[in-house]
Amino acid sequence: MEELEPSELGTHEYWNHRYETEIANYSAHGDAGEIWFGDDTVERILRWICKTPEIAKDSSIIDLGCGNGMFLIDLSNEGYSNLLGVDYSEKAVELSRNIATAKGYNITYKQADILDDLEGTYKVIHDKGTYDAISLSENAKENRQKYIVNVKNIMNKDSFFIITSCNWTQSELVEHFKEHFQLHQVVPTPTFKFGGKEGSVVSICIFKRI
Ligand SMILES: C[S@@+](CC[C@H](N)C(=O)[O-])C[C@H]1O[C@@H](n2cnc3c(N)ncnc32)[C@H](O)[C@@H]1O
C-alpha cells in the first residue's frame, strides 16, 4: 500500500496553531471555523445515524479528532445525549468547549491522542478527516496501524465505525481496515467523471468490527 507524502496537516503543531487562530476568530466574530468536507457531508452522516434504529438517543458516541466540536453539536441538536469529543490538540478542545459552553450544550470534550490507548467502548465511533490527517504524518504506515488497532479496541460487535475521507477511496479504506473490520454500508456521496472513470471526492464508509 502506497503511503501519502507527509505534510504539515499531519502534525500537532499545525493543528494547535490553526485552532489558536480559530479561538481568536470565535471570540471576535462568533465564527466556529471550518466544516471539513462541507455541510452536505455532515447532513449525509447525520441522516444515516438518525435513520439507524440500533443507535438510540442515549447511545455512546465518540468523535475522534473532533476539531471545533461542531459535529457533536449537530448530533445534540438531533437529540443525542451521550457525546464525547477527543482531539490531541489542546487548542481544539478549548475551542470546542468555548463553543459548546457559549451555546449551552452538555457535551464532553477531552484532550487525547488516538495513537495512545483510548478508554471504554462506544456504540458509534465517528471520524471525519482525522484518519486523513494521521495518514499525512511522518511514520504514517505505523500510525495508521496503531489507529486501526485502537479503534478496534473501543468497539464491540454492535458498534458502528463511521469514517469520512477525502484522501482514500472506499476500496482503499476497505483494504486498510480489512484485518479487523468489515464494510457494513456506504453512504452515497456525489460522484464526478474524469476521463471516463467515475469517482467520489469524499468517501463515507460504515464499518463493523469482525
Ligand atoms: C481535518 S481535521 C477534522 C476535524 C473534525 N473532525 C471536523 O470534521 O471538523 C483533523 C483533526 O484531527 C485531529 N488529530 C489529528 N491527529 C490526531 C491524533 N493522533 N489524535 C487526536 N486527534 C488528532 C486534529 O487536531 C484535527 O482536529
Q: How far is the CA of 128 from the centre of ligand 1 (A)?
A: 8
Q: How far is the CA of 171 from the centre of ligand 1 (A)?
A: 22
> Is pLDDT above 80 for 47?
yes
> Is pLDDT above 90 for 200?
no
The per-residue b/e assignment along 155-190, b for 16 or more CB within 10 angstroms, e otherwise, is beeebbbbbbbbbbebeebbebbeeebeeeeebebe
Eight-state DSSP code of residue 38 = H
Residue 95: all three cell numbers together: 475551542
The span from the CA of 170 to the CA of 164, in Å, is 9
Q: Which domains does the chain have, with CATH numbers?
A: 8-209 (3.40.50.150)
Query: What are the pLDDT digits (tens) for 137-180?
Result: 999 999 999 999 999 999 999 999 999 999 999 999 999 999 99
Q: How far is the CA of 195 from the centre of ligand 1 (A)?
A: 33
Mean predicted lDDT score pLDDT of the chain: 95
Q: How far is the CA of 161 from the centre of ligand 1 (A)?
A: 16
How would residue 201 be classed by pLDDT, with cut points 50, 70 and 90?
confident
44 lines ligand 1 (CB under 6 A): no
Residue nearest to atom 24 of ligand 1 (CA): 65
The span from the CA of 140 to the CA of 34, in Å, is 24
> Is pLDDT above 80 for 92?
yes
65 lines ligand 1 (CB under 6 A): yes
Integer-rounded Cα radius of gyration of the chain: 16
Which atom number of ligand 1 is nearest to the Cα of residue 115?
19
> Is pLDDT above 70 for 40?
yes
